[in-house]
Structure 1
Amino acid sequence: MPNTANRRTAKRPAQAAPVSPVAVPEEREPRGARRKRETRARLLDAALKLMAEKGMEGVAINEITEAADVGFGSFYNHFDSKEAIYATLVDSVFEEFANMLDRLGSGLSDPAEVIAVAVRHTVLRARHDPVWGRFLIREGFSARATSRGLGQRLLRDIGNGIAAKRFVVADPFIGFLAVGGTVLSVIAAELNYVAPGAPAAGVLEELGFSGEHLPERTAATLLQTLGLKRAEAEKIAVRPLPVVEETVEAN
């Protein structure tokens, strides 16, 4: 019989114990950097509210720092001048929104729908953020806002519609002024007459007008201004709005 005592038993290699992932501590923002960022954000927020009400020329730096609860000297740690914080506001407030409109329109092939979506979203944004809306009314045709951000996009979109023979506009610049000026006027009407708590809420009713569906009505009328037939303009103006997530960026 075979000698079982000398038989070797094959051993399976021992399995290594599962290694727990090493927790990597999140890098915490240094306290000084966080305070600096928060201070800058407070200054921008205060400047936006004040300049929306009184314009850049009507606001002093000490008003901004007082409203932001920041020391006067701290202002110059972030901005060289009142003009510098104004330029930052125009770029951040309008450029960020214009970028969002570009994302909304990226999937649209019809220049008319691109304009309708931009108009409706602009009026809706002002409805939900009245300070933003008032700042847009005041600065919408300023040199800086017209040459970049929303103004630049509007000129481009009208030009695209003309090139595609979708719009019939004899004078593109006047078309730009007509669209931009109408949107600003509608936002003013929204904030003064239509929005909850508006200072002159009863005026439209007294005049026999309705404030309902202003974004859609504005888009339809402006598409007719650009050359579309009324029935088609009204149909485009009530299509479901495309939605994209807005990216939140630190100031």
Structure 2
Amino acid sequence: MAEITGENLKEGRVARRQRRNREALIRAASDVMSEKGIDAATMLEIADRADVGAGTVYNYFRSKDDLAVAVLEEIMQDLALRVETATGDFADPAHVYAVALLTVLETATNDERWRQLLNRSGIVADVMFRRIGPFAIDLLKQGAGSGRLSPGDAALTWRLTTHAIVGIGLSVSHGDLPASAMSDAAVRLLCMVGLSAEVAQDLAARPLPTLPPEDGLNSIAVNAG
């Protein structure tokens, strides 16, 4: 057993302080960016809201864009958990996957923190793949196992889907497509995982369940490194 020394304890305190500072900055950035948008938010204002020194921000994030991506990572992971909670009683993995698709599409175009980052399409798609992917890929595998879905390589299918979501979100945000196009896009993405157009349309037309309130940024337990 390793000897517990004052140095070990000191390192532990430093790590805890760093984690708290990082979490506070992400929470503050989420609040400020929601209120003012990413472009109008300043690092000084975020640091002040987090109650840390202005220079401290740059110990954790190289730029405001990097901080915005960290916020997006937490939002996406939280969204996956909220969808999972809201659909816990659903027996059909295809229905849960449809809910997840429609919810992500809606959030990508309505949440200001997502919408302003859509132009960084590769980064947003990568974050979506990593943060929502474990939930979505597991659903696709469950659906394949039950014979309900035939997604092929589930990870590849989800990766393709993330890029499609970003593209659709950009088109709606820029006014190239109406918001109503998201439902049709969800149908097409559901067809990609082996559902017929008729079944996909039925799933996409069902009312979405009410998600629990967003709270992931109040209890961040990951990305503390």
TM-score, with length taken from structure 1: 0.61
Structure 1 residue 95 displacement after superposition: 1.5
Q: Partners of 1:136 and 1:161 in 2: how far apart?
A: 29
Structure 1 residue 127 displacement after superposition: 3.2
Ranges in structure 1 where 5+ consecutive residues have no aligned partner: 1-36, 54-62, 194-202, 205-210
Q: Conserved in 2, the CA contact under 8 Å of 1:136 and 1:184? A: yes
- Which of 83, 88, 93 aligns to 1:111? It is 93
Match of 2:151 in 1: 169
Q: Partners of 2:159 and 2:26 in 1: how far apart?
A: 34
Of all paired residues, the percent bearing the same amino acid is: 16
- Which of 108, 128, 131 aligns to 1:126? It is 108
Q: Partners of 2:148 and 2:25 in 1: how far apart?
A: 48
Q: Partners of 2:180 and 2:57 in 1: how far apart?
A: 42
- Alignment pair present for 1:99 and 2:81: yes
Structure 1 residue 191 displacement after superposition: 0.8
Change beyond 3 A, Cα 1:89–1:230: same
Structure 1 residue 125 displacement after superposition: 1.9
Q: Partners of 1:243 and 1:125 in 2: how far apart?
A: 14
Match of 1:242 in 2: 209
User: Could you say which structure has the higher helix fraction?
Assistant: 2
Change beyond 3 A, Cα 1:124–1:64: same
- Alignment pair present for 1:217 and 2:184: yes
Q: Partners of 2:152 and 2:203 in 1: how far apart?
A: 22
Letter in 1 for 2:129: T
Q: Secondary structure at the match of 2:174?
A: helix
Letter in 1 for 2:145: A
Q: Partners of 2:135 and 2:116 in 1: how far apart?
A: 20
Match of 1:232 in 2: 199
TM-score, with length taken from structure 2: 0.67
Change beyond 3 A, Cα 1:154–1:40: closer
Q: RMSD of aligned C-alpha atoms?
A: 3.4
Structure 1 residue 39 displacement after superposition: 7.4
Q: Partners of 2:128 and 2:189 in 1: how far apart?
A: 21
- Which of 117, 124, 135 aligns to 1:140? It is 124
Q: Conserved in 1, the CA contact under 8 Å of 2:25 and 2:47? A: no
Q: Conserved in 2, the CA contact under 8 Å of 1:40 and 1:78? A: no
**Which has the higher relative contact order, 1 or 2, with Cα contacts under 8 A spaced 6 or more apart?**
2
Q: Conserved in 1, the CA contact under 8 Å of 2:97 and 2:139? A: yes
Ranges in structure 2 where 5+ consecutive residues have no aligned partner: 1-22, 220-225
